[in-house]
Amino acid sequence: MKDIKLFRDMRKGWAILAIGLLLSLLAPLAWAQAAVAAPPLVMHKGDVAWMLTSTLLVLMMTVPGLALFYGGLLRSKNVLSMLMQVMTVFSMIVVLWVIYGYTLAFNGGNAFIGNFDKLFLKGITKDSLAATFSAGVGLPEYVFVMFQATFAGITCALIVGALAERVRFRAVLAFTALWFTFAYLPIAHMVWYGPSGFMFARGVLDFAGGTVVHINAGIAGLVGAYMLGPRLGLGRESMKPHSVTFTMIGASLLWVGWFGFNAGSNLEANGGAGLAFINTMVATAAAVLSWLAVEAITKGKPSMVGGASGAVAGLVAITPACGTVGPMGAIAIGALASAACVWGVTGLKKILKADDALDVFGVHGVGGILGAILTGVFSAPILGGTGFGAGITTMAQQVGVQALGVGITLAWSGGVSLLAYFIVKQVFGLRVSAEAEREGLDISSHGESAYEA
Amino acid sequence: MKDIKLFRDMRKGWAILAIGLLLSLLAPLAWAQAAVAAPPLVMHKGDVAWMLTSTLLVLMMTVPGLALFYGGLLRSKNVLSMLMQVMTVFSMIVVLWVIYGYTLAFNGGNAFIGNFDKLFLKGITKDSLAATFSAGVGLPEYVFVMFQATFAGITCALIVGALAERVRFRAVLAFTALWFTFAYLPIAHMVWYGPSGFMFARGVLDFAGGTVVHINAGIAGLVGAYMLGPRLGLGRESMKPHSVTFTMIGASLLWVGWFGFNAGSNLEANGGAGLAFINTMVATAAAVLSWLAVEAITKGKPSMVGGASGAVAGLVAITPACGTVGPMGAIAIGALASAACVWGVTGLKKILKADDALDVFGVHGVGGILGAILTGVFSAPILGGTGFGAGITTMAQQVGVQALGVGITLAWSGGVSLLAYFIVKQVFGLRVSAEAEREGLDISSHGESAYEA
Amino acid sequence: MKDIKLFRDMRKGWAILAIGLLLSLLAPLAWAQAAVAAPPLVMHKGDVAWMLTSTLLVLMMTVPGLALFYGGLLRSKNVLSMLMQVMTVFSMIVVLWVIYGYTLAFNGGNAFIGNFDKLFLKGITKDSLAATFSAGVGLPEYVFVMFQATFAGITCALIVGALAERVRFRAVLAFTALWFTFAYLPIAHMVWYGPSGFMFARGVLDFAGGTVVHINAGIAGLVGAYMLGPRLGLGRESMKPHSVTFTMIGASLLWVGWFGFNAGSNLEANGGAGLAFINTMVATAAAVLSWLAVEAITKGKPSMVGGASGAVAGLVAITPACGTVGPMGAIAIGALASAACVWGVTGLKKILKADDALDVFGVHGVGGILGAILTGVFSAPILGGTGFGAGITTMAQQVGVQALGVGITLAWSGGVSLLAYFIVKQVFGLRVSAEAEREGLDISSHGESAYEA
Amino acid sequence: MKLISCIIRPYKLDEVREALTQVGVSGLTVSEVRGFGRQKGHTELYRGAEYTVDFLPKIKIEAVVPAELLDGALDAILQSARTGSVGDGKIFVSAVEQVIRIRTGDLDADAL
Amino acid sequence: MKLISCIIRPYKLDEVREALTQVGVSGLTVSEVRGFGRQKGHTELYRGAEYTVDFLPKIKIEAVVPAELLDGALDAILQSARTGSVGDGKIFVSAVEQVIRIRTGDLDADAL
Amino acid sequence: MKLISCIIRPYKLDEVREALTQVGVSGLTVSEVRGFGRQKGHTELYRGAEYTVDFLPKIKIEAVVPAELLDGALDAILQSARTGSVGDGKIFVSAVEQVIRIRTGDLDADAL
Ligand SMILES: Nc1ncnc2c1ncn2[C@@H]1O[C@H](COP(=O)(O)OP(=O)(O)O)[C@@H](O)[C@H]1O
Ligand SMILES: Nc1ncnc2c1ncn2[C@@H]1O[C@H](COP(=O)(O)OP(=O)(O)O)[C@@H](O)[C@H]1O
Ligand SMILES: Nc1ncnc2c1ncn2[C@@H]1O[C@H](COP(=O)(O)OP(=O)(O)O)[C@@H](O)[C@H]1O
């Protein structure tokens, strides 16, 4: 849904697409020519203010947000390894992003991947503007580059939750670099790069990244959990969270930061951002209540880990929908997805038999899939939504397209993950030694311990 | 002080008020007619950017801010129950807010309560604008709805500090739902809904919610502390804070987030927000110093719990005043209120004999009352303020009106609280069993423990 | 680099400078006359939104950010003393700032210090505007006053890291008040107050405060470490961090908040802020990777304390540079400075033989100096920068000027520090008693302990 | 001299300490322990995982007393630590051969 | 009665507890301790500072058992706590002169 | 064999450990405890509430040694743990009947 080229270019782009995928390598050329005739973009300072804020909010979601949400759920001997992985993966992806990520995801190319024209951000200056969704409105391109960098960073960081307490540090970095290049960049291009992106062109609705971020990371985590095998002592030893307080802080910062993620994806500070904002708030609130209600009914006691998980489930599910559904639809999505995720981390988990340590698939995968499908439902004007994707007229059609998006993402990301884990396993090995795992990754991999009296 | 109807409506509304309270039910009709003639509102993206930010700041004040400030002060066996209560209450209120809260507080109605015209946010779209304080300037209504939702949410969450370490989880939720409906909504309407709100019409100055938020919650907490009775072992066993570090983090996030609360209440990003901002900063700084000075003098040692409490006391006290006093007045208010709150949590607490566990009344009640009164003093132009409420000319008059506002809030909220606690006590019971209390609410109510080695 | 006077004034100011330093006391007079003819400033709401956000971000950097970054690295018996010092110092400086700091730093005066015209913020109202870097664009002066207040506050708070675990609380406050007055204010005036400031006039580039904040605080900390002497048991007893998790949270919040510091220093929400933003992001990411790589190579294990330190080192180094270098230059600066700081906290630390407990000089001093010098290098257009300081044409010249800035700051701040510590030592004593140090400052100085089961 | 080692409920610590000082016990050492016995634990739930916690938080008090103080001390503990419900804890008594005060080198009874 | 005091690896706790209950030990008390012995520690690095950590996390179990249960209990511990690598820990046995159940005042064997 | 159990000041731990290894003690177990005795505690204040903290953080070292090492070990502790101010702590010595090394099943002196 994101388009950093001019609106006019987009229509020209459509014509080119018609000629077919085989000719797609010529697209950049055509675009370059078209750019000459485009009307000048105007920058609004209010948009800049909001997008700078949104970008730092997504950083805050990652460090410290996600790191704490994950870290608190682990045993204290592994907490630093999680904080390290999240911070280092994010840092690495940011650097890769400005080198080749941005240009491959968001610049020209074909239906599946961009080109290399902006390698090292070539040609971008502080005066460059990127188009927003409103004709004639531009955002400093550096800001757009950074906003998108944080999305790539957090997506890669999400994966590590599934690998927790046993993965080698260098394996995480190597896998992430591969997966970013061959899974994240193409999927982001396919979904968000208009008009040529493969899924974008088919009308897939994904306002802020349900497929690109959550399903994508969820399946990569699940595959990793299978490849690594379960943690030593799983089911026998207690693996209680060492600090539910940290987990709650993390969930709260995810909630707060997610407004940058969702309302920021509007790229402008206007009523559209307001819609994404209210949907994000109410879906999350409903999801918290829903998870707690399910727990209270099925287990007798609502829990803080449940409330925190519910918040994240709701945030995941509303992500693709927040720009196109109404607040009451958002409440429904939050409540339904949260209940589905309770199943994701219990029933489904038992079926899958993978030690997805922090339920990356159970929450991000399940919540993401349900969110994507329900986006197709609740975007219907009759249910308070603002309408379907370009060229789509019925709810059934939209749901079908959404399911296609889900399917492509699961297959592509799953396949790339499998291969990438395999390569990394051959080169470095995926797991630490049993002794190192017993001792805890903090000391064995990083030479530190988190706490001391 | 907040008005989401057009400025022109407001003047028409004044005429209607003159006819008297008995006719007030006709007001909505009159307003609807007036709306036709109103000049169109214009949205400014800079305002949207600031108000989106402000709204998420108030969320951050609540989770994780308030939750940590409170949770850190408790024993470790009860910390999760506090985090749960804060997060769940906030979530529940957000949902109730979009269902019936917003329309009852901020849409038409009479001097005491709004109407049901915007039930389920009926009629609001992403293009709807709500009026700000400047003629012709509008804010996306969804943003205003959300900004106000967070106020309602944090107010209800404040109360639970008084009930800590012994209250039943379901009792908290039931009480909060009742109190929100019958105390928060009417008071918010009376104070902020112009021109018809009962206190608004009388010129009560409450820029960001000293009465609506702090006095309101403070008295509800105090009544609850009486109804519940003291914690087991109070005065005999040690009830030392389990993590002053968390309390300090919470206080800091309250400080940071409060700029959304106070400067956000300006609804626009302009010099008025700048004034609210500087007042909030310097009052808090002065309050920190003042609490520490009092401690250093009276007890010999300034403490971190004191510094954190001082910050909150200053923030509470400057809340009603921040839009109408000058920076030097703000310093005075912060310093005075902080010293008063030291007394609130020591001398007054001994007099009241209630186990208001986290001093909700001692800080929010006392600080709120003093802040409300001092707003009447330091808003005087001669003391650097920007002037009195509409129709008020002398400091004495303003202080009188402020005292009236305080009195109405204490009486109304206190009465509703008493009734609501009583009902909840009959239906669910307010307290957990003695054994559950000894074991700690985390395990007995939520089946979790916060920390594990 | 900051100028709150009109652009036109600036040129008039240059003429005056030419007459020489001896006449500089007449400058305020000249400025006052010039002001009459200045074109009116226009406020943009988007700028206000961004600058309000930036200001609260710098507050968040300090509390809880810096407090946690520092506090986590200490033993648990001293963590509260650190949180206290950071919060209290910040509060005190904010109050001093509005009393006499702002006017002395940013109002008229000569090449070394401002005048007293705005004592107690005299004459500023919510309608006052301060000039930004763009002609004709103004920011509410209250917002500028607050933005700068947070800079002063965090700078003074940085120093305490060097004095940790042994300094008397009142000595910290007394020293800080002196140092703020006689070191911070003059240096800020010299560097940022255009056109008359001594270093500003010579073309020193310091976009967001590398000299004023980091070198300044770094040397003050180092001098303090010498004056205090080493902690009892240093090198014999374990002084392991009591919570690396808190340190990581602190570093993350520093990273997040630093965008307010750096991109906020642009004073407007435009492409210039975007440039500062992207530079801050990529330099930090590169610095994290760089520190970890050095650790992995030299010690075999990359650590979380290392990653957190790397982030801070990168942030420090990019601070002066972020407005004038390109993203690839920023990556280079981040990576180089981070590696230099590894040496700062190991090799150099051994040479200096001072117990700079939290490496204020090793990170802020070394990172700040390298950043200042490299700003001279990478601002060169040929290396992707936007150009040199006013009147400077070659890289060698710019590097020379930068070195001059570094030298003046080291000398001035070092000298003032020496004197101020000496005075405080005579009056209060700098260190607590050996017994109090053994017991921990939390209990001995503040009558509290941080944690309890 | 005898070592009295007793396991009690955490919230009883202050009462027991007072009772012991009353009868002349001049020093004691306390540690946080977890106990397993007749008193049943509880179940904790974290998402899909359910943990049965068999160990409950207890306090262990160790006090070395001269033989003549033993009976009084035992009585004091029994009085102050009892609630009557399962989980009140146990007292163990064993022999100590030698006591030294580190500060002074005082031996045995003098060292207490 | 005998006091069995054993130092084991933390992750063996549940196994040892089960083995002991199997042979009839009805209660025990556990504490977190740090041990120094043949098993080598590790090095930790914090910026410039390097700390050698000689003490490793261990669990201490204390169980008072009637003399007749002693051998069974020792066997149970040996079986369940052994991994065969350095650092498995030790068992110490000493005499207990008196046991009292606080709740009831029951003495000795009855108190266990 | 004898069990030496001593309560010391936390910051003395490393010194005492070194002194003990010097004289041939090959292993020991350490726990964090809180002590009450002649050394006075302090007062803590949290808003309106004042708590008197009578218990001070101490370290307990337990080392089982062959009888012939006992005197040397006691001396080592006395030398290394003493500061001369109140609160230096105590040493308690008691008898151990049996020692087993879990890893090997070695008994008594061989197990140490
Ligand atoms: N045989 C034992 N050896 C050591 N500690 C024991 C033993 N039996 C019980 N304890 C300790 O005493 C505590 C209370 O014992 P429990 O059987 O639960 O209740 P009660 O003492 O009332 O019979 C336990 O939690 C445990 O710490
Ligand atoms: N003499 C001793 N006194 C008390 N505890 C000991 C003694 N020797 C060893 N320990 C405890 O037993 C643990 C394991 O001992 P160690 O020598 O490392 O391995 P192993 O028991 O396999 O020979 C140590 O960490 C320590 O806690
Ligand atoms: N009778 C006792 N039984 C057990 N521990 C004791 C006893 N007396 C003292 N201790 C321990 O020794 C520590 C030091 O004792 P204290 O009386 O304060 O100083 P000193 O040993 O210098 O006389 C106490 O904190 C406590 O842990």
For B313-347, how does the pLDDT look when each residue is reduced to its tens digit (9 = 90+)? 999 999 999 999 999 999 999 999 999 999 999 99
The H or E element that residue E93 is part of is strand E90-95
- A24 pLDDT exceeds 50? no
Buried b (16+ CB within 10 A) or exposed e, B367-396: bbbbbbbbbbbbbbeeebbeebbeebeebe
Average pLDDT, chain A: 92
The pLDDT value given to residue A3? 43
In sequence order, which residues have a C-beta less than 8 Å from that of residue A180 and are 6 or more positions away? A93, A96, A101, A152, A156
Give me the mean pLDDT over the A75-101 stretch. Answer: 98
Contact residues, chain A, for B125 at CB < 8 Å = 271
Q: Tell how far the Cα of E87 is from the centroid of ligand 2, in angstroms.
A: 7
Residue B173 token pair: 């939720």
Amino acid (1-letter code) at residue C81? S
- C33 pLDDT exceeds 80? no
Do the Cβ atoms of E32 and F30 come within 8 Å?
no
The pLDDT value given to residue B32? 40
What residues pair up with F5 in beta bridges, in sequence order? F62, F92
Rounded to whole angstroms, what are the CA distances from F62 to A153, E57, F55?
50, 15, 20
Q: Tell how far the Cα of D86 is from the centroid of ligand 1, in angstroms.
A: 9
pLDDT band at C28 (very low <50, low <70, confident <90, very high): very low
Residue listed under structure tokens 């359910």: D50
Helix/strand/coil for E94 = strand
Do the Cβ atoms of E45 and C309 come within 8 Å?
no
The pLDDT value given to residue A38? 63
Instruction: Tell me which residues of chain B have a pLDDT lower than 50.
Output: 1-36
Q: Is the CB of D9 under 6 A from ligand 1?
A: no
Rounded to whole angstroms, what are the CA distances from F14 to B38, C399, F71?
80, 50, 20
Q: Tell how far the Cα of D109 is from the centroid of ligand 3, in angstroms.
A: 13
The pLDDT value given to residue D110? 82
Separation of alpha carbons C361 and C161, rounded Å: 9
Contact residues, chain E, for C303 at CB < 8 Å = 45-46
Separation of alpha carbons A195 and A112, rounded Å: 12
For A324-347, how does the pLDDT look when each residue is reduced to its tens digit (9 = 90+)? 999 999 999 999 999 999 999 999
Give me the mean pLDDT over the A291-308 stretch. Answer: 96
The alpha carbon of D28 is separated from its chain's Cα centroid by a whole number of angstroms, namely 9
Do the Cβ atoms of F45 and B301 come within 8 Å?
yes
- Among the listed ranges C5-19, D60-74, F38-52, which one has the minimum average pLDDT value? C5-19
Residue E101 alpha carbon, nearest atom of ligand 1: 21
Q: Is the CB of D64 under 6 A from ligand 3?
A: yes
Length of chain D counted residue by residue: 112
Give F48: exposed, middle or buried? Use CB within 10 Å, 0-12, 13-18, 19+.
middle
pLDDT band at A27 (very low <50, low <70, confident <90, very high): very low
Q: Does B238 touch chain D (CB under 8 A)?
A: yes
- C206 pLDDT exceeds 60? yes
Contact residues, chain A, for D49 at CB < 8 Å = 239
- C93 pLDDT exceeds 60? yes
Q: Does B118 touch chain C (CB under 8 A)?
A: no
Helices (H), D36-88: 70-81
Separation of alpha carbons B435 and B439, rounded Å: 6
Task: Report the complex ipTM.
Answer: 0.93
Q: Are C343 and C295 spatial neighbours (Cβ–Cβ below 8 Å)?
A: no
The pLDDT value given to residue B13? 39
The pLDDT value given to residue D109? 79
For A312-322, how does the pLDDT look when each residue is reduced to its tens digit (9 = 90+)? 999 999 999 99
Residue E104 alpha carbon, nearest atom of ligand 1: 22
Q: Tell how far the Cα of F2 is from the centroid of ligand 3, in angstroms.
A: 21
Residue in E5, E91, E93 to test binding to F, most F beta-carbons within 10 Å:
E91
Contact residues, chain F, for E79 at CB < 8 Å = none
Separation of alpha carbons C184 and C198, rounded Å: 14
- A34 pLDDT exceeds 50? no
Q: Which of A320, A328, A337, A336 is CA-nearest to residue A384?
A: A328
Give me the mean pLDDT over the C30-50 stretch. Answer: 73
Separation of alpha carbons B210 and C407, rounded Å: 50
The pLDDT value given to residue C38? 63
DSSP H helix total and E strand total for chain C? 20, 3
Count of Cβ atoms closer than 10 Å to residue A22 Cβ: 8
Name the phi and psi angles at F93, rounded to 5. -120, 135
Separation of alpha carbons A60 and A10, rounded Å: 33
Beta-sheet strand order (sheet of A129-131):
A42-43, A137-140, A129-131
Residue C61 token pair: 């950097």
Ligand that comes closest to the CA of residue E17: 1
Residue F33 alpha carbon, nearest atom of ligand 3: 27
Distance from CA of D19 to the nearest CA of A (A): 30
The pLDDT value given to residue D111? 76
Closest in A238, A295, A303 to D51, CB measured: A238
Residue owning the nearest CA to atom 19 of ligand 2? E87
In sequence order, which residues have a C-beta less than 8 Å from that of residue B249 and are 6 or more positions away? A249, B64, B68, B72, C64, C68, C249
Q: Tell how far the Cα of D76 is from the centroid of ligand 3, in angstroms.
A: 19
Name the phi and psi angles at B61, rounded to 5. -55, -40
Give me the mean pLDDT over the D25-51 stretch. Answer: 91
Contact residues, chain B, for D11 at CB < 8 Å = 233, 237, 438
Q: Enumerate neighbours of C (3 or more CB pairs within 8 A).
A: A, B, E, F
- C271 pLDDT exceeds 50? yes
Ligand that comes closest to the CA of residue F20: 2
Residue listed under structure tokens 């709805």: B145
Distance from CA of E68 to the nearest CA of F (A): 15
The pLDDT value given to residue B113? 97
Q: Are A286 and A314 spatial neighbours (Cβ–Cβ below 8 Å)?
A: yes
SS3 sequence of A36-53: HHCCCCEECHHHHHHHHH
Residue B175 token pair: 């009480």
The pLDDT value given to residue D50? 87
- Report the percentage of chain A scoring pLDDT > 90: 88
Q: Which residue of F has its CA nearest to D17?
A: F36
For F96-108, how does the pLDDT look when each residue is reduced to its tens digit (9 = 90+)? 999 999 999 888 7
